[in-house]
Structure 1
Amino acid sequence: MDPALRAAIEITPAAGTYERIIDITTTGRRTGRPRRIEIFFYRALNQTYLCSGTSGRPTSWYANLLTHPEFTLHLKHGIRADLAARATPVTDDTERRRILAEIVADLNQPHNPGTIAQPTRLEDWLDSRLARITFLPT
């Protein structure tokens, strides 16, 4: 992978809100049509994730990825690129807790890299939708 793309994906805790915002295009689970939304992505344990946050409500993007796991991740701030990817739901409770604990610690930094109220608590994130991103060769 191009070093500039890798740097844009492998954000560090120093990354601000702007660097964490991407678009994803999923395939609609019922319609089969492309669905593009803006979403935050996260880095934890040297992996890239999508997460629904603290609401615990069902999300269309996650339901779409359960049916059609391949999607396009669109980098749009700084570097622009459309990356082929696959989502894998993270369902193991122990693994989810480890990943979400790192995400919450990142979001609770003094410079507040997200748009959530601080401090946020791990317990509020445990029912979120969480998917690991694997980038596909092009």
Structure 2
Amino acid sequence: MHFHNLAAAFFAAAAFFAAAASAAALPASSGPLPAGAKFNLLALRSASPVHFADVSAAQGSLFLNLPSQNATCDGSCGNSSGSATFYLNDDGGLYLYSTSATPQQLYADRSGMGQGNLGYTTGAQPPPRNGERTGWVLDEVGDLTLNGAGFIA
């Protein structure tokens, strides 16, 4: 099994991730998830080795098909697949779910210098110089975007 680092995979292009929300977090309507709802991400890229691959998090980066992310879930996230669990806050910040008080927030550096680097910071750790932390949205069909831009690999 191969795993792929998602660094340098963020560009303004077709959506690459789809959210697979846990049943407990789904709103009654078919619209986007409310702020704070927990969900998982998977890659959708037909005829490729990453099609339906779970997104995992480890060592400040996101990965597809990572054998083990060495993380635990206390059972309240509804995730037993080993994939990362995420949530969006009210200002469009995307976070890794944890019962810990220390936040792990995702960023994307879409600048020429960052070349699409996608990762996360822990606690008060700052993002890279051009890292964007807010503007993440799950649309009506479950595609994750950052200020309207999707993912490619």
The structure in which a higher percent of residues are helix is: 1
Q: Normalized against structure 2, the TM-score is what?
A: 0.33
